[in-house]
C-alpha cells in the first residue's frame, strides 16, 4: 500500500507539469515525505530605442569662398551666399562716369557647388578658391563698346579773325581708353570675385595744333594800307604798305604764305599791264626789292619795293608793297604756312 501511494504521488507530480519534483535522498522512513520546490522566474527585458536627429554638416568656421564668408553655414546656404555675391555687378569708373556691368553680361560663370564641396572638407580658417570662367570674346567686345562711348578726339586750336584781330582757340586734349588694361582689370576682378570700384585706364591725347603752333599772324588792312604783325594774338609791330589800285585790287580773305625768296627775280605776270615786259634779275631796280613772300592767292605776294613813295597808297597791281628794310624784317618773322588775313578796313 505504501509503495502504491508513492507511485501515485510521483505520477501526479509528473502530470502536474513538473511544478514539483521528488528528491530521494536515501531510504525514506514510513510516513515521511521530503519535497523540494523549484521556482522558475521569468525575466522580461524591455529594450528602449532612442532616435537622434542629426543636423546637416556645416562649413568649418572661418572659411571663405572667393572672399565670401561662409564659415558655420550649411552647404546650401553657403552656395546661395556665394552665388549672390558673384552675381553682383562690377563697378567701373571712366572719368566721372560709373558703369556697372553684370558678370553674366561679361560671359562669366562660377563653379559654386564645386567650391562649396571643397569648403566642407577644408580645415577651419582657410580661403577656398572660387573657380570662374570668363568669355574673353565678351569682355573684349564690352571694352570696345566702352571705348566707343568714352573716347574723345582732341580738338585742335583754331585761328579766327575777331574784331580785326587774330583770335586762337585753346583747343582741347582727347582721351583714349586703354582697352588692353581694361580687359585685364575686368578679368582679374571676375576671377578674384572682387567688386571694388575699378578706375579704367585712359590716356590723354594732345591736339595736333595748339596756340603756340601758330606763331606769326599777318593782318593787312587794305583800305588803311597798314600791315599788322602778330605773335599769336599779341601785336608785335605795325607797318605802312601799299595795296592794289582800284583796277587791280588786292584780294580780300584768308591766305597763307606758300613761298619765300631772297633776292627774287621778277617775272611779268599774265596780265595786260605786264604785256611785253621782260624778267628782271635781282638787284637795285627789281620791283620786288630783296624779299618775296608769295601768298596762296595766285600772283599776289608781300614784297619790298624800291618806290618808297608808293607806301600808304593803293597803287600796286594787287601785291602788298613794303619798304625794303621792313620787308626784310618781316621775312625773318614769318614762315611758309603763316596765316595772312586781308580785310577791307
Q: What pLDDT is stored for residue 180 in this prediction? A: 97
Q: Read off the pLDDT of each residue in 31-38 and give the average, rounded to a whole number.
A: 36
Q: What pLDDT is stored for residue 22 in this prediction? A: 30
- Cell numbers representing residue 292 in the block: 618775296
Q: Read off the pLDDT of each residue in 309-335 and give the average, rounded to a whole number.
A: 96
Lowest mean pLDDT among 123-127, 194-198, 199-203: 123-127
Instruction: Name the packing angle between helices 136-150 and 179-192 (round to 10°).
Output: 130
- For residue 91, what are the β-bridge partners? none
**The pLDDT of residue 47 is above 90:** no
Proportion of the chain above pLDDT 70, given as a percent: 84
3-state secondary structure the chain: CHHHHHHHHHHHHHHCCCCEEECCCCCCCCCCCCEEECCCCCCCCCCCCCCCCCCCCCCCCCCEECCEECCCCCHHHHHHHHHHHHHCCCCEEECCEEECCCCCCCCEEECHHHHHHHHHHCCCCCEECCCEEECHHHHHHHHHHHHHHHCECCECCCEEEECCEEEECCCECEEEECHHHHHHHHHHHHHHCCCCCEECCEEEECCCCCHHHCCEEEEEECCCCEEEEEECCEEEEEEECEEECCCCCCCCEEEEEEEEEECCCECCCCCHHHCCCCCECCCCCCCCCCEEEEECCCCCEEEEECCHHHCCCEEECCCEEEEHHHHHHHHHHCCCCCEEEEECC
**Closest alpha carbon to 163 in 221, 210, 212:** 221
Q: Read off the pLDDT of each residue in 211-234 and give the average, rounded to a whole number.
A: 96
Contact between 216 and 334 (Cβ < 8 Å): yes
**The pLDDT of residue 4 is above 90:** no
56 pLDDT tier (thresholds 50, 70, 90): low
Q: Read off the pLDDT of each residue in 191-215 and give the average, rounded to a whole number.
A: 94
Active site residue 263: no
Q: What is the pLDDT of residues 241-292, one digit of tens each?
A: 999 999 999 999 999 999 999 999 988 887 777 787 888 899 888 999 999 9
Q: What pLDDT is stored for residue 54 in this prediction? A: 52
- pTM of the entire predicted model: 0.65
Structural domains in the chain? 57-211 (3.10.20), 215-268+278-343 (2.40.440.10)
Contact between 222 and 250 (Cβ < 8 Å): yes
Catalytic residue, from 221, 222, 303, 321: name it. Answer: 303
CA distance 24 to 27: 8
Q: What pLDDT is stored for residue 128 in this prediction? A: 96
CA distance 300 to 340: 12
Q: What is the CA radius of gyration of the chain?
A: 56
**The pLDDT of residue 21 is above 80:** no
Contact between 173 and 204 (Cβ < 8 Å): yes
Q: What is the pLDDT of residues 131-173, one digit of tens each?
A: 999 999 999 999 999 999 999 999 999 999 999 999 999 999 9
77 pLDDT tier (thresholds 50, 70, 90): very high
- For residue 292, what are the β-bridge partners? 261, 303
- For residue 68, what are the β-bridge partners? 65
Catalytic residue, from 70, 319, 327, 340: name it. Answer: 319
CA distance 184 to 199: 12
CA distance 81 to 176: 38
Q: What pLDDT is stored for residue 29 in this prediction? A: 36
236 pLDDT tier (thresholds 50, 70, 90): very high
**The pLDDT of residue 44 is above 90:** no
**The pLDDT of residue 51 is above 80:** no
> Can you say whether residue 164 is alpha, beta or left, with left for phi > 0 and alpha for psi between -120 and 50 degrees?
left
Active site residue 332: no
**The pLDDT of residue 198 is above 80:** yes
CA distance 229 to 339: 11
Residues in contact with 234: Cβ distance below 8 Å, sequence separation at least 6, in sequence order: none
Question: Measured in whole angstroms, how far is the alpha carbon of residue 214 from the centre of its chain?
Answer: 34
**Closest alpha carbon to 310 in 331, 324, 295:** 324
Q: What pLDDT is stored for residue 6 in this prediction? A: 35
Amino acid at each position: 500500500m505504501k509503495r502504491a501511494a508513492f507511485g501515485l504521488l510521483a505520477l501526479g507530480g509528473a502530470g502536474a507539469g513538473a511544478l514539483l519534483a521528488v528528491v530521494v535522498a536515501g531510504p525514506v522512513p514510513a510516513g515521511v515525505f521530503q519535497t523540494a520546490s523549484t521556482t522558475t522566474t521569468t525575466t522580461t527585458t524591455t529594450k528602449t530605442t532612442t532616435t537622434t536627429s542629426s543636423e546637416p554638416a556645416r562649413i568649418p568656421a572661418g572659411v571663405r569662398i572667393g572672399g565670401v564668408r561662409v564659415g558655420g553655414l550649411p552647404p546650401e546656404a553657403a552656395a546661395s551666399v556665394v552665388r549672390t555675391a558673384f552675381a553682383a555687378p562690377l563697378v567701373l569708373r571712366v572719368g566721372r562716369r560709373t558703369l556697372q556691368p553684370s558678370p553674366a553680361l561679361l560671359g562669366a560663370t562660377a563653379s559654386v557647388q564645386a567650391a562649396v564641396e571643397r569648403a566642407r572638407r577644408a580645415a577651419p580658417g582657410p580661403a577656398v578658391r572660387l573657380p570662374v570662367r570668363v568669355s574673353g570674346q565678351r569682355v573684349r567686345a564690352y571694352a570696345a563698346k566702352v571705348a566707343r562711348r568714352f573716347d574723345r578726339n582732341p580738338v585742335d586750336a583754331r585761328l579766327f579773325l575777331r574784331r580785326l584781330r587774330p583770335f586762337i582757340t585753346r583747343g582741347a586734349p582727347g582721351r583714349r581708353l586703354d582697352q588692353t588694361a581694361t580687359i585685364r582689370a575686368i578679368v582679374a576682378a571676375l576671377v578674384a570675385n572682387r567688386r571694388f570700384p575699378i578706375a579704367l585706364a585712359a590716356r590723354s591725347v594732345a591736339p595736333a595744333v595748339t596756340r603756340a603752333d601758330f606763331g606769326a599772324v599777318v593782318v593787312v588792312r587794305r583800305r588803311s594800307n597798314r600791315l599788322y604783325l602778330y605773335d599769336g594774338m599779341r601785336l608785335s609791330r605795325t607797318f605802312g604798305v601799299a595795296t592794289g589800285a582800284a583796277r587791280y585790287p588786292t584780294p580780300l580773305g584768308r591766305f597763307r604764305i606758300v613761298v619765300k625768296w631772297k633776292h627774287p627775280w621778277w617775272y611779268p605776270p599774265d596780265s595786260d599791264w605786264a604785256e611785253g615786259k621782260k624778267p628782271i634779275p635781282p638787284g637795285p631796280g627789281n620791283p620786288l626789292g630783296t624779299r618775296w613772300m608769295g601768298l596762296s592767292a595766285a600772283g599776289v605776294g608781300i614784297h619790298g619795293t624800291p618806290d618808297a613813295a608808293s607806301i600808304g597808297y593803293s597803287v600796286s597791281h594787287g601785291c602788298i608793297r613794303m619798304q625794303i628794310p621792313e620787308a626784310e624784317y618781316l621775312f625773318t618773322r614769318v614762315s611758309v604756312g603763316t596765316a595772312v588775313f586781308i580785310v577791307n578796313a
